[in-house]
Structure 1
Amino acid sequence: MFSKKRALATAAIAAGAALVLAGCAGGSSETPGGTPTFDPDEKVTLNMSFWGNDVRADLYNQVIEAFNEEYPNITVNTSFLAFPEYWEKRQTEAAGGGLPDVMQFDYSYLRQYSENGLLLDLDPYLGGIIETDPLPENILSIGVVDDKTTAIPTSTNAWGLYTNPKLLEEAGVDDFAGGDWEDYTDWMGEITDASGGAIYGGTDYTGRIQNFEVQQRAKGEDLFTEDGEANFTKDDLKEFWEQGDATRDGIGLPAQKAEELLPLSGFDAGLTASELTWDNFGAGYLANLGEGFTELNLIAPPVTEEGAKDLYLKPSMLEAVSAKTKHPEAAATLVNFLINSPESGEIFGTNRGLPASETALEAANLDPISQQIKDYEASISDRLGDAPPVPINGYGTLEQKFLEIGKELGFGTMSVDDAVDQFFSEMDVVLNQ
């Protein structure tokens, strides 16, 4: 266990001015030499927020109870909301300068809050209060914005291909044996044909920006540069969306049927035999499929180029500290416990995703689907590259636009050329706002 009394270096946090957010640096007690100190006997109160439900709230309460056994003088007050309401409240607090000391954080918001000086630079605490040995470098680098570590991943997931063995058996088709994207489309067609249309091989995968990202990364190109500029051309996007012509022509689940199934997808409605998505969706799929479906297969996505580092580990969520916290060392201590402690691994399990910390993962009691995800992420190690730059401001808007255009293409109400022009117009607005 780490020492609660380790001396640490500290750094000032620059105030941000963009958007409506306003941040300023947090403070810490210092010795005359300038080194921050952490008095474990000082009574400290921290406010901590997370999104989730009553189940997750109970787990957090259990972890904090374990935390207080070791740090009885640090009181932690928690609050939680559903995901949309959680971020609405954070925006309000950010504008008023009152963010919680410690926050469960989402990757999509990390750049926005970091660039506005709202999150504490955690680099001075790495290797000290925050243990780094259990966290691989590619995990730690996920939380870096403008050369500062402003959040630490609690858990990871990766892009994968789920298939349904029960439906494949009904169709009389073997599981996808691997290959490129054309091979995958052909395999989907076999399922649709063999079942007489009762089961579809999958959906039009070109409606998901992540599949475009995988193909671009196979060329060695992330979707956006570190400076927030687009790293792909209209021709790249046109070529990708044209791949969907075959799946939109009878092979994939029809767009109208997909719309009627919402909020379920064709896969967890039991109408498609495969789906490309984040690997931590497995438990939800099984729950929605219901009785008669006891297992799923999880395999690597199609390959664009052998040997390419086209996949990466993405944080399911992260932990961050407010730049204005009055107790940065105590907050960092809580972050370390939430991420690295065996107690957090044992109590949370995979509620927050597959634990990123080796010590937490070793202590987690993995159910079959969680063990499957762990084995899957190990199996794709040769395809895992560095995570792309932290999402640009407005990435969520572009992801949604990509999905909406994909639906238009599925309904046949928009040509590929018009789709490309519309997306680039939207992207121009987002990147230059």
Structure 2
Amino acid sequence: MFNIRKRRAGIAAVALAAGAALALTGCGGSGGSSEEAAPTFDPNEKVTLDLAFWGNDIRADLYTQAVAAFNEEYPNITVNTSFLGFPEYWEKRQTEAAGGGLPDVMQFDYSYLRQYSENGLLLDLDPYLGNIIDTEPLSEQILGIGVVDGTTTGIPTSTNAWALFTNESLLSSVGVEPFEGGSWEDYVDWQAEVSAAGGGTVYGGTDYTGRIQNFEIQQRAKGNDLFTDEGEPNFTEKDLVAFWEQGVPQREDGAVIGQQKLEEIYPKSAFDAGLTTSELTWDNFGAGYLGNLGEGTELTLTAPPVTEEGAKDLYLKPSMLHSISAKTEHPEAAATLVNFLVNSPEAGAIFGTNRGLPASTTMLEGAELDPLGQQIRDYEESIADRLGDAPPVPIVGYGTLEEKFRQLGQELGFGTITPEEAATQFFNEMDVVLNQ
């Protein structure tokens, strides 16, 4: 069972997938200036488009159904589909990018959007917004996610947000009430209560300072994204030291599970392994958790601890986007296909939550949400007052920094380095990434 519990108003009122920098060859091509006449598509023109996506046989079947539905409306557009697993998908795109032969329409990942956009590989979609691509069903927050350096190069298909999962079944076994919201200090106190009641077999959670996303939302509560629009760091070593120092009492007081135990159960997380009662992560991880914990497990989904009341610290992240090659010979037809895949109720009915919670209201209306998808929808609606604008599209090399942050969190967990030493190492790594 996956159940969302109604929390008090203060609380209940979107794998980044890591990606190394790619050596891409810039390509020409543009959708044209937004000051030009709005592009239109000739419904009688016979064209062929290539559509590429990552996934498995199940997703491939869904895309086949979606293309068939698309062709009922646009029989003149032939769509050839291809798919690969996630790593292989990006290896092929890298090869195609170097040779100038990207598919017309591509399922796109947020962590690669800046790399391909800055190399001129993706079509400027701004001229197509509001005419071929309907923007009414997409909020400004959603549309802003696909903007790189002032140009729209991707349209999100779906969203997720940072959240707090609780294993209510495990929590009830130690006789502690669920976390009812509050500050990060309140959350640590609750974790400590659970760990004490768990007697060394059940813990309240893991040290939250090991995740860069928790640092990010604390910084956003102060009004700062991690990086500026220009890709410069928007935080200091002092900020990072202060954050990592929050983990010291968590570990010393036994409020969280120890790092050695985490190493022993890897690659499972402590939450996956049924050792901790809470986990801060993206809200679309629920299906994976239930797969490991068992369908009978009762999970709840609530907002993360509060850094500052009223802050717009949370945001919606795309599970994936759709982009168009800058070299497509049929930009209007490609934009028509993107609009169908992103906005149509027919696509919503076909995909459901396979690509995440639909970002478009019209696609969401067509989707039949499973219980898990419905709870995620309820959660994202519940945090509306905490949602701010999405941060700038991740810098090239963000995945490398996210992994470095995780590794330093492990060393802090073992006590082999201090917060000051960890901050120095992180800034050294960041200097390399930003200047490569």
After TM superposition, the score normalised by the length of structure 1 is 0.93
Match of 2:278 in 1: 274
Match of 2:106 in 1: 103
Amino acid in structure 1 at the alignment position of 2:260 = Q
Of 234, 243, 253, the match for 2:257: 253
**In the alignment, is the contact (CA less than 8 A) between 1:153 and 1:315 conserved in 2?**
yes
**In the alignment, is the contact (CA less than 8 A) between 2:40 and 2:132 conserved in 1?**
no
Match of 1:209 in 2: 212
Amino acid in structure 1 at the alignment position of 2:116 = Y
Match of 1:237 in 2: 240
1:352 is aligned to 2:355: yes
**In the alignment, is the contact (CA less than 8 A) between 1:267 and 1:274 conserved in 2?**
yes
1:283 is aligned to 2:303: no
Match of 1:225 in 2: 228
Match of 1:5 in 2: none
**In the alignment, is the contact (CA less than 8 A) between 1:26 and 1:322 conserved in 2?**
no
Q: Distance in 1 between matches of 2:50 and 2:246?
A: 49
CA deviation vs aligned residue, 1:392-429 (integer Å, no higher than 9, x gap): 11111101110111111112222211111100000011
Match of 1:133 in 2: 136
Q: Distance in 1 between matches of 2:221 and 2:395?
A: 21
Amino acid in structure 2 at the alignment position of 1:107 = Y
Of 414, 423, 427, the match for 1:424: 427
* Partner secondary structure for residue 307 of structure 1: coil
Match of 1:394 in 2: 397
**In the alignment, is the contact (CA less than 8 A) between 1:26 and 1:325 conserved in 2?**
no
Match of 1:11 in 2: none
Shift of 1:35: 6.4
Structure 1 residues 27 and 381: alpha-carbon distance in aligned structure 2, compared to 1, 3 A threshold: closer
Shift of 1:260: 2.5
Amino acid in structure 1 at the alignment position of 2:185 = E
Q: Distance in 2 between matches of 1:94 and 1:208?
A: 32
Q: Distance in 1 between matches of 2:267 and 2:322?
A: 29
CA deviation vs aligned residue, 1:283-316 (integer Å, no higher than 9, x gap): 11111111541x3110000000000000001111
Of 298, 301, 312, the match for 2:301: 298
Shift of 1:248: 2.3
Q: Distance in 1 between matches of 2:31 and 2:242?
A: 52
* Partner secondary structure for residue 414 of structure 1: coil
After TM superposition, the score normalised by the length of structure 2 is 0.92
1:166 is aligned to 2:179: no
Following TM superposition, where does structure 1 have runs of at least 4 consecutive aligned residues deviating by more than 6 angstroms? none
* Partner secondary structure for residue 251 of structure 1: coil
Of 69, 74, 89, the match for 2:72: 69
**In the alignment, is the contact (CA less than 8 A) between 2:39 and 2:128 conserved in 1?**
no
Amino acid in structure 2 at the alignment position of 1:279 = D
Q: Distance in 1 between matches of 2:295 and 2:73?
A: 44
Aligned length: 411
Match of 2:147 in 1: 144
Match of 1:94 in 2: 97
Ranked by relative contact order (alpha carbons within 8 Å, sequence separation 6 or more), the top structure is: 2
Q: Distance in 2 between matches of 1:358 and 1:344?
A: 12
Aligned alpha-carbon RMSD (Å)? 1.4
Shift of 1:336: 0.4
Amino acid in structure 1 at the alignment position of 2:291 = A
Amino acid in structure 2 at the alignment position of 1:403 = R
Structure 1 residues 27 and 415: alpha-carbon distance in aligned structure 2, compared to 1, 3 A threshold: closer
The unaligned stretches of length 5 or more in structure 1 are: 1-17
The unaligned stretches of length 5 or more in structure 2 are: 1-21
